[in-house]
Amino acid sequence: GSRLYHPYSLVIHNGDVSYAQGVGVQWDQFFEQQGAACTGMPMLASVGNHEDSWGRSPLYRAGDSGGECGVPYRRRLDPTWAPAGEGERPRYRSVEWGPMRLIVLDTERSTLADSAQRLWLRAELAEVDRSRTPWLAVVMHRPMYVNTRDNAFPQGKLTTAVALQTALEDLMLEARVDLVLAGHQHSYERTCAVARGRCVKQGEHGIVHLGFGNGGAGLYANPAKVVPAWSAAYFGTTHGHVRMHVNATTLALEAVASKDFGVFDRVSLSRAAGDPRAEQERLRCKEFAFPGNGPAKRRHTWS
């Protein structure tokens, strides 16, 4: 894809990687297609519901993963995989990549207050050294904020988003997470810098949530009838990917359309050089909305 013109050092995939759902050859086809784009680059992938059916799925039914039970995902994409007999290891992990700490969560397993995953996340966030990695991002399959009418119980996209907000948002805000990267919803969406359901004011800390589940599977545009105030950009009929460029003072993201490599949305976060902890309150967020098919086309700049 656009790597021909923009060399990268890391690929991030937010789950539902190949959509094989039990058809092994489709994993092979996916990596054959991706080979040129991924050559020489690691891929950081969270697990999605089509790799490993969500926690209460029946064991003896195909479910969302088509019976894969996470095995193809773990063998191909999970560095924590262990041979049989050594026990299953958690699929959440944390990596440093340049000036950014990336924390990968498993949204197919519990994030409740007493869960092992949430306890691990709290400890991991407490250990982040912002002088070493000034940017902090969370990678997860299911989004915490999503513009949709799907509120079915228990696995509707809006239902699980609210549950994730309840379980994780205060923890992330306390740790001053900058960015959440998610998928699951087959569209592209970006929030404002949001905290507890509202766009924050200058001087307050909020998190930008970026949902890009528009990579290749069939798209669906089913936004809510009333656009949430926190939805800054929405594109429901555009396949694409997101480019991210990051250094110590700037984190820039561009949404790129597959059909022509045109940029249809972008956001840039920046902070002054110096102690990242002291500079967090001076976070500046510049957002640009481009003409598109989404109901939300807002443009605003903080400085």
Instruction: Please give the pLDDT value at position 184.
Output: 82
242 in a domain, yes or no? Answer: yes
Please state the domain count of the chain: 1
87 in a domain, yes or no? Answer: yes
42 in a domain, yes or no? Answer: no
160 in a domain, yes or no? Answer: yes
> Comparing C-alpha atoms, which of 136, 138, 110, 102 is closest to residue 211?
138
pLDDT digit string, tens, across residues 148-166: 877 666 677 778 889 999 9
44 in a domain, yes or no? Answer: no
pLDDT digit string, tens, across residues 151-208: 666 677 778 889 999 999 999 999 999 999 998 888 899 999 999 999 999 889 999 9
Flag whether pLDDT at 273 surpasses 50. yes
Instruction: Please give the pLDDT value at position 219.
Output: 75
**Entry pTM:** 0.79
pLDDT top residue among 20 and 4? 20
Q: Where are the beta strands (DSSP E) in the chain?
A: 11-13, 43-45, 93-97, 100-104, 135-139, 179-182, 188-195, 198-199, 207-212, 231-235, 240-246, 250-257, 263-270, 284-289
Q: Read off the pLDDT band of 297 (50, 70, 90).
A: very low
Q: Any idea what the CATH number is for the domain that residue 113 is in? A: 3.60.21.10
Most confident listed range (33-37, 140-144, 291-295): 140-144
104 in a domain, yes or no? Answer: yes
Q: Read off the pLDDT band of 56 (50, 70, 90).
A: low
Q: What three-state secondary structure class fits 134?
A: coil
For 274, the domain range is 2-16+73-289
Return the half-sphere exposure (C-beta side, CA atoms, 13 A cut-off) of residue 228. 22
Averaged pLDDT of the chain: 78
67 in a domain, yes or no? Answer: no
CA distance 274 to 134: 10
pLDDT digit string, tens, across residues 14-30: 877 757 666 777 777 77
pLDDT top residue among 55 and 102? 102
pLDDT top residue among 49 and 65? 49
253 in a domain, yes or no? Answer: yes
Q: Read off the pLDDT band of 295 (50, 70, 90).
A: very low
Flag whether pLDDT at 4 surpasses 70. no
Q: What average pLDDT does range 28-43 have in this prediction?
A: 75
